[in-house]
Amino acid sequence: MTVLEVVLGDITTQDVEAVVTAANESLLGGGGVDGAIHRAAGPELAVAGAAIAPCSAGDAKATGAFGLAPVRYVIHTVGPVWEGGTEGEAQVLASCYRRCLEVADVLGVGSIAFPSIATGVYGYPVEEAARIAVAAVRTARTTVGLIRFVAFDQGGHDALVGAVGEGVSG
Ligand code: APR
């Protein structure tokens, strides 16, 4: 049974086994959540990322978490750049969440924290991204026990809470 959680906070302070970063294909780090995670993990993260780069949009690759301990893994995923919704962005975004869980399952991860992938620099509309994120993890066959969505602002938090509440019968 997988538990879904939505919290408002900083993903670099979450006590989980794996943290997902919204990266770019180089896996060298950037701004936004990727920058925060690389700053917290330290320079080794970019070295480890470069060793397994490139990462295609919609795919996910894992490295160690270095200075982010007790987190064990950083799972790097590359979201779609929002181009209006006609370029397959929804499928790529759903794939990010699915592939992160597949990678987490291979690693035997019990708990994972996701940021709102693609909703910052990449411009994905927050509400639609939240619906895609929740639907993707709900339909994934995963052994991860705890999936925590970490929103950085109230709007993102409320969108995720709304998405989790949708489709819950009763
Ligand atoms: N904790 C949780 N969420 C955060 C944090 C944080 N410390 N910092 C930012 N966020 C949120 C943003 O508010 C946004 O909702 O992460 C979400 C994703 O935004 P970005 O980090 O801009 O990621 P994305 O839109 O996927 O763009 C990725 O930006 O930083 C570069 O290298 C990255 O090229 C890539 C692109």
Q: Which two tokens stand for residue 122?
A: 């990449």
- Where along the chain do its domains lie? 3-165
pTM of the model: 0.97
What are 166's strand-pairing partners? none
**3-165 maps to CATH 3.40.220.10:** yes
Q: Which residues line ligand 1 (CB under 6 A)?
A: 10-12, 22-24, 30-36, 79, 115-122, 150, 152-153, 156
Ligand 1 atom 12 nearest Cα: 120
Q: How far, in Å, from the CA of 4 to the mean position of ligand 1? A: 20
CA of 30 to the centre of ligand 1 (A): 9
Q: How many CB atoms lie within 10 A of CB 43?
A: 12
* Cβ-contact 111, 2 below 8 angstroms: no
Q: CA-to-CA distance for 84 and 149, rounded, in angstroms?
A: 24
Q: How many CB atoms lie within 10 A of CB 103?
A: 21
Does the annotation count 59 as an active-site position? no
pLDDT at 168: 60
Q: What is the pLDDT of residues 102-127, one digit of tens each?
A: 999 999 999 999 999 999 999 999 99
| Tens digits of residue pLDDT in 32-81 | 999 999 999 999 999 999 999 999 999 999 999 999 999 999 999 999 99
Task: Report which protein residue has its CA nearest ligand 1's atom 18.
Answer: 120
CA angle 63, 43, 32 (to 5 degrees): 80
Helical packing angle, 44-52 and 32-41, nearest 10°: 120
How far is the centre of ligand 1, averaged over its atoms, from the C-alpha of 151 (Å)? 10
Structure tokens at 71: 């987190």
Q: Per-residue confidence at 170, pLDDT binned at 50, 70, 90?
A: very low
How far is the C-alpha of 44 from the C-alpha of 30, rounded, in Å? 14
Q: For residue 53, what are the CA distances in angstroms to 83, 122, 169? A: 24, 19, 42
Torsion, Cα 116 117 118 120, to 10 degrees, reads 40
